[in-house]
Amino acid sequence: MAKKQLDPEITPLYRALHSDRYARQDTIARIEKLTNRQLIVYEANLWSERSSLGEQDIQPFGDLLSRIPPNADIDLLLQTPGGDIDAAEKIVYMCREIAKGFRVIVPEYAKSAGTLIALASDEVIMGIASELGPIDAQLSGPGPGGASFQTSAQSFIDEFEKMKEEVDKSGTLSPAYWPLLEGLNLGFIRMCRNLMKRSEKFAAKWLEKYMFKGKPKAAKKLAKKLCNVKEWLSHGVVIDADQARDELKINVLKLEQNDELWKEIWYLHCCYGVLFRRTPISKIYQSSSVSLPMRTL
């Protein structure tokens, strides 16, 4: 295993206490040597309630990028359940501002807004355990018994349109719908429609600018397809490397399990999984020179 030169400002005891961190950073350095690219890592603890991507991620990303030289080729190792679309686009802007080339590495799970970030890259690196997902906008709210639930904005609009059709046909509204419509206002319906358009426009914009450059029709078609809840039925459905590459025509580099680069990527990803199981950390941002763990409050 390649050894990193000891920083004279770091004492042996400090290094020993943070040995896991330095082991991960040594692995990042090995991956950079294999790819000849700068690697930054954003790993979210999927078992944490604070794993969603959001505005709180912007400053740590700024730190990750602060030591990247201008016009460098950047790889982003991304593990996220998704989250805020606006924050996802801000991260894309930040990476694209610095990077000459931008790839996203998905060791296991880059869903929803994570898939949007992947679509804004030049290439997505995936393996046997990697998955992307649909990008239809989601809404959270109270469900039966007070439990929280998540649903697609498109599904809500579809059901609302179905009610309208029934009223147009029969001239009356079934009493079964009354509790569902209580307190509903046009502003909420408009918000649902805007969220749907926002996600689709995000994907089409960045696909057309980079991965599908010169193919605006193909970019819009893929964006629309990934937003179509009727196509996927579930927001959590798995889109693996083969389907992403062969069916959706996403620029995917699929690495086999015995590939040296994939071995290092998977090992690094497993290191973060062990970290999350042992500590109350919700997310970590890391590079060969930066390490920012965020603890669950």
The DSSP H or E segment spanning 148 is: strand 148-152
Closest residue by Cα to residue 85 from 59, 53, 49: 53
The answer to whether the beta carbons of residues 83 and 102 sit under 8 Å apart is no
Question: What is the spatial distance between Cα 90 and Cα 58, in angstroms, rounded to a whole number?
Answer: 8
* Strand arrangement, sheet containing 123-126: 252-254, 123-126, 99-106, 72-79, 38-44, 281-286, 291-295
Amino acid of residue 168: D
pLDDT per residue rounded down to tens, the chain (297 residues): 444 454 556 776 676 667 788 899 999 999 999 999 999 999 999 999 899 999 999 999 999 999 999 899 999 999 999 999 999 999 999 999 999 999 999 999 999 999 999 999 999 999 999 999 999 776 665 554 455 556 666 666 666 667 667 767 777 766 766 666 665 665 666 767 767 788 899 999 999 999 999 999 999 999 999 988 888 878 789 999 999 999 999 999 999 999 999 999 999 999 999 999 999 999 999 999 999 999 876
Instruction: Supply φ then ψ for residue 239, to 5 degrees.
Output: -110, 105
Tell the burial category of 40 from Cβ atoms under 10 Å away from its Cβ (0-12, 13-18, 19+).
buried
Quote the tokens at residue 225. 């397809």
pLDDT in the model for residue 188: 66
Amino acid of residue 62: G
pLDDT in the model for residue 1: 45
